């Protein structure tokens, strides 16, 4: 409500006045058979970047074939076939043997806490991923924030271009492929990236179309994060507030992802396999599906469950838990059907000038269980992760004491 008595900003006026105009066409190399002798990959990446229209700009221009820099290299596709049987097209059922655990948080106060802690421990240790239901965030808020993120991505390209950036330090930015110039191939995904804390974000920095919903979701998902870090602390045999005292919920970023319908989904990826560079991620996905985790040499679907949120352990929590919790690889398949929307909440102190060092928690170490990692600051960790890009290796290896 606090925004009612304020004059409309220039950016908002542009959003309104342009809302009927048409997205600009971005020039695309629409033949992936282009002559290798004359193909200038850097020039094509730059052209895409400078369009500031993201993947949605390409999709809207009506291309039938992917620009070449989106193509997965043949060795990637072959490796996939090797480890997951068939090349796991979108919608393929999970291999027998694993279902992503679904944990009910509805009865924590009514005696259900020990059982929930046990399930969280098992899921975080064995799978690294679980879904939560009865988590306290109303469905109207979940639907609202997905719709709001979608509405941002569906603004005219000219308006979104005002937010487009690759700057590390920007708190609110529209970006496509943060590792565009480093990765082996681009992903079929755009992102609205918003750092919501520790320093409270001025709501006016958020695009008007998603401002109120992002602020509301941020507040609610932070409260859920607090509950989860308490359960995770207990799962490690620590006091409930142990991870909170280590500032695990002090900051978070919201990432509103948009995966447009893809003309050649088998040739690219929505998101290349990666693990998350944070303490913990709470992910809200819509009903389209495509998220998979790598489990025992197989890609396993994380099926959309209505009203549920997906929770996964990030690299930093694997490091702090000395490998008790697992930060596992996951990816998102591209799909003929779209757009697919998701909103990820990364608990991290991204950009915050903390000097706190993070290493394996002393209380869980012993002679039999020596520290497996060196300590690192968040800045050092994130800088390393970003410089590496999503190259299919784990950033944790870099910080491991025994390689
Ligand atoms: C991420 C992520 C999955 C999705 O943001 O790190 O893995 O479904 N997102 O968008
Ligand atoms: Ni992720």
**Considering the chain, what is the average pLDDT of its residues?**
89
The answer on pLDDT for 53 being more than 60 is yes
Q: Report every protein residue that has its C-beta within 5 angstroms of ion ligand 2.
A: 276
pLDDT tens digit sequence for 69-105:
999 999 888 887 655 433 344 444 445 568 899 999 9
The answer on pLDDT for 394 being more than 90 is no
CA atoms of 218 and 224, how far apart (whole Å)? 10
pLDDT tens digit sequence for 218-254:
999 999 999 999 999 999 999 999 999 999 999 999 9
The answer on pLDDT for 313 being more than 90 is yes
pLDDT score at 91: 43
> Residue 317 contacts by C-beta under 8 Å, 6 or more apart in sequence?
232, 243, 248, 279, 280, 325, 327
Name the β-bridge partners of 309: 132
CA atoms of 281 and 330, how far apart (whole Å)? 12
pLDDT score at 32: 77
pLDDT score at 21: 39
Q: Which ligand is nearest to the CA of 269?
A: 1
Query: The tokens 């995770």 sit on which residue?
Result: 232
CA atoms of 374 and 61, how far apart (whole Å)? 48
Element containing residue 388 per DSSP (H, E)? helix 378-388
276 lines ligand 1 (CB under 6 A): yes
The answer on pLDDT for 214 being more than 80 is yes
**Mean pLDDT value of segment 183-202:** 96
Using an 8 Å Cβ cutoff, are 303 and 129 in contact? no
Rounded to two decimals, the pTM is 0.89
Mutational pocket test of ligand 1: of 293, 342, 350, the residue with most ligand atoms within 8 Å of the beta carbon: 342
| Best CA proximity match to 295, nearest among 339, 331, 321, 257 | 331
Residue 211 phi/psi, 5° resolution?
-55, -60
pLDDT score at 259: 98
Token duo for residue 138: 């109303």
CA atoms of 234 and 232, how far apart (whole Å)? 5
């Amino acid at each position: 409500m606090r925004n009612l008595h304020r004059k409309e900003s220039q950016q908002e006026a542009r959003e309104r006045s342009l809302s009927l105009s048409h997205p600009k066409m971005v020039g695309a190399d629409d033949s992936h058979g282009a002559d290798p002798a004359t193909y200038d990959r850097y020039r094509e990446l730059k052209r895409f970047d400078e369009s500031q229209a993201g993947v949605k700009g390409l999709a809207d221009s009506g291309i039938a074939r992917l620009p070449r820099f989106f193509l997965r290299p043949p060795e990637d596709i072959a490796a996939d076939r090797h480890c997951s049987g068939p090349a796991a097209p979108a919608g393929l059922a999970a291999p027998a043997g694993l279902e992503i655990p679904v944990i009910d948080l509805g009865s924590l106060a009514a005696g259900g806490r020990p059982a929930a802690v046990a399930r969280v421990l098992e899921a975080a240790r064995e799978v690294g991923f679980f879904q939560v239901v009865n988590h306290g965030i109303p469905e109207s808020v979940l639907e609202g924030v997905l719709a709001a993120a979608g509405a941002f991505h569906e603004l005219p390209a000219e308006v979104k271009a005002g937010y487009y950036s690759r700057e590390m330090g920007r708190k609110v930015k529209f970006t496509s492929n943060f590792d565009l110039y480093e990765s082996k191939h681009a992903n079929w995904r755009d992102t609205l990236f918003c750092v919501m804390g520790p320093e409270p974000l001025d709501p006016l920095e958020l695009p008007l179309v998603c401002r109120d919903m992002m602020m509301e979701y941020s507040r609610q998902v932070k409260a859920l994060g607090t509950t989860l870090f308490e359960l995770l602390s207990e799962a490690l045999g620590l006091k409930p507030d142990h991870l909170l005292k280590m500032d695990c919920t002090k900051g978070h970023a919201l990432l509103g992802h948009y995966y447009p319908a893809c003309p050649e989904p088998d040739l690219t990826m929505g998101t290349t396999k990666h693990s998350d560079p944070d303490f913990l991620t709470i992910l809200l996905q819509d009903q389209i599906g495509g998220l998979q985790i790598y489990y025992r040499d197989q890609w396993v679907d994380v099926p959309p469950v209505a009203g549920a949120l997906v929770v996964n352990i990030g690299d930093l929590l694997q490091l702090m838990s000395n490998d008790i919790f697992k930060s596992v690889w996951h990816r998102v398949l591209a799909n003929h059907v779209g757009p697919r929307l998701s909103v990820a909440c990364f608990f991290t102190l991204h950009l915050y000038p903390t000097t706190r060092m993070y290493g394996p928690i002393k209380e869980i170490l012993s002679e039999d269980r020596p520290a497996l990692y060196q300590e690192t600051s968040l800045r050092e960790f994130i800088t390393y992760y970003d410089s590496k890009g999503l190259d299919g290796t784990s950033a944790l290896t870099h910080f491991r004491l025994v390689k």
